[in-house]
């Protein structure tokens, strides 16, 4: 497994729509494992394939994981799709590995029903609320080329993008990762 480079705003790949995965190949399984390792290494709870430069419909989430306990309960979702959203809303202070160090309140449906395929090809349908519902919505937005900052005013969004650009690569990305996210 490898820690992959996470793309940051304003990288244009983050604004592109990801393609459906037709075959769950060994390459897709390896990508999922690498995405989990990356997510844990940089203290995230979710990561979408476009964030590591791969325009495929794959996300990983672990809302149970905490760095201090090392408790893990990862979910790997291939071709995730939100089927239903509640009318009731919830507001979370969201952050994003592609927008490091920046957090803003985003309002989304409180509950969602979603379906996905796992790496063994089994299909799942899940009803979620709370942090899992928010994380699934956040990560599936990435598959559509949308970031949490797109929910903000243009002024706030532009300020955040400027802040991230000023950071450069100082935070958590491996210095020796190539443009496809693989460590050299």
Which residues participate in catalysis according to the annotation?
Answer: 139
Strand (E) or helix (H) holding 134: helix 130-143
At 59, is the secondary structure helix, strand, or coil?
Answer: strand
35 CA to centre of own chain: 9
Give buried/exposed letters for 133-161 (b at 16+ CB in 10 A, else e).
bbbbbbbbbbbebebbbebbeeeebeebb
CA distances from 163 to 39, 48, 111, 166 (A): 22, 22, 32, 5
Place of tokens 């809302």: 63
- Torsion, Cα 34 2 50 40, to 10 degrees, reads 60
């Amino acid at each position: 497994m490898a820690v992959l480079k996470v793309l940051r705003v304003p990288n244009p790949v983050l604004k592109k729509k990801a393609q459906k995965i037709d075959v769950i190949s060994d390459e897709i399984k390896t990508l999922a494992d690498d995405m989990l390792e990356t997510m844990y290494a940089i203290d995230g709870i979710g990561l979408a394939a476009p964030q590591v430069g791969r325009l495929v419909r794959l996300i990983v989430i672990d809302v149970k994981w905490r760095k201090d306990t090392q408790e893990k309960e990862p979910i790997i979702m291939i071709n995730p799709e939100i089927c239903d959203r509640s009318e009731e809303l919830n507001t979370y202070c969201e952050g994003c590995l592609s927008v490091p160090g920046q957090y803003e309140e985003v309002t989304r449906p409180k509950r969602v029903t979603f379906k996905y395929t796992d790496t063994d090809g089994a299909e799942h349908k899940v009803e979620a609320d709370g942090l899992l519902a928010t994380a699934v919505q956040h990560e599936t937005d990435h598959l559509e080329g949308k970031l949490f900052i797109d929910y903000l005013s243009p002024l706030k969004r532009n300020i955040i993008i400027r802040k991230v650009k000023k950071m450069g690569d100082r935070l958590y990305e491996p210095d020796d990762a190539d443009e496809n996210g693989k460590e050299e």
